[in-house]
A and B are shown apart, each in its own frame.
Chain A
Amino acid sequence: DAMVIQNPRYQVTQFGKPVTLSCSQTLNHNVMYWYQQKSSQAPKLLFHYYDKDFNNEADTPDNFQSRRPNTSFCFLDIRSPGLGDAAMYLCATSRVSQPQHFGDGTRLSIL
């Protein structure tokens, strides 16, 4: 049974057109993470939520925002996608200091 679910698996958007990626979890974990991964490189942490507390990485572009309306859901909003934002976006969840569990990712393409 999928425990961290990302929708959609593939997303195509136009240059500059806002896009939202979705993540939900059935694990009741209090921490949720968003990573960006390009071309089989290591995943790069964008930000995470510890319960309702939002924590942005210092080098995450302002173009990337996130919302966590409740424990189960977390969204990644890209306000004005550029060609360089084409990547796989991975959501993960964990309890504090416990291993992170990943979804299958959303592959974002920019036209």
Chain B
Amino acid sequence: GEDVEQSLFLSVREGDSSVINCTYTDSSSTYLYWYKQEPGAGLQLLTYIFSNMDMKQDQRLTVLLNKKDKHLSLRIADTQTGDSAIYFCAEIMNTGFQKLVFGTGTRLLVSP
């Protein structure tokens, strides 16, 4: 199937690390993405990882990829209240046109 799964909700305190998890379906996906959506806004591309990589770090963001388990995670270090948003992982489905399939989204709430 095309279900990309995420936990629905994560609550952390400001300054802590946040880890958002994602399980995807297509083992042949070439790229996996993380998007952030603030209330009433569009999706902002945060980072992405190529499938031949295990890890990618970009400032406060660390992406880990476990291809064997088809598991992707996003770690946000020193989480700030401005990080409160919905986070979507997404994979490229290699079926004809490379369609982007989104996860169910994780709502991150950061409290002061």
Contacts and interface: CB of A to CB of B under 8 A. Distances in A.
Query: Are both chains from one complex?
Result: yes
Interface of A: 4, 6, 40-43, 45, 48, 50, 55, 90, 92, 96-97, 99-105, 107
B104 A42 contact: yes
Contacts of B97: 48, 50, 55
Contacts of B37: 40
B33 A99 contact: yes
Nearest to A53: B97
13 contacts: A4-B42, A6-B42, A42-B88, A42-B104, A43-B43, A45-B99, A55-B97, A100-B45, A102-B35, A102-B43, A102-B44, A102-B45, A105-B41
Contacts of B102: 42-43
Contacts of B4: 42
B88 A103 contact: no
State the majority secondary structure of interface residues on B: strand
Contacts of B40: 105, 107
Given A50-B97, A55-B97, A102-B44, 17 more contacts: A6-B42, A40-B86, A42-B102, A42-B104, A42-B105, A45-B99, A45-B100, A48-B97, A97-B31, A97-B92, A99-B31, A101-B45, A102-B35, A102-B42, A104-B41, A105-B40, A105-B41
Interface residues of B, number: 25
Contacts of B33: 99
Contacts of A43: 43, 88, 102
A90 B42 contact: yes
Nearest to A43: B102
A96 B100 CA distance: 12
Interface in B7-56: 30-31, 33, 35, 37, 40-45, 48
Contact of A99 (B48, B104, B105): B48
Interface in B91-112: 92, 97-100, 102-105, 107
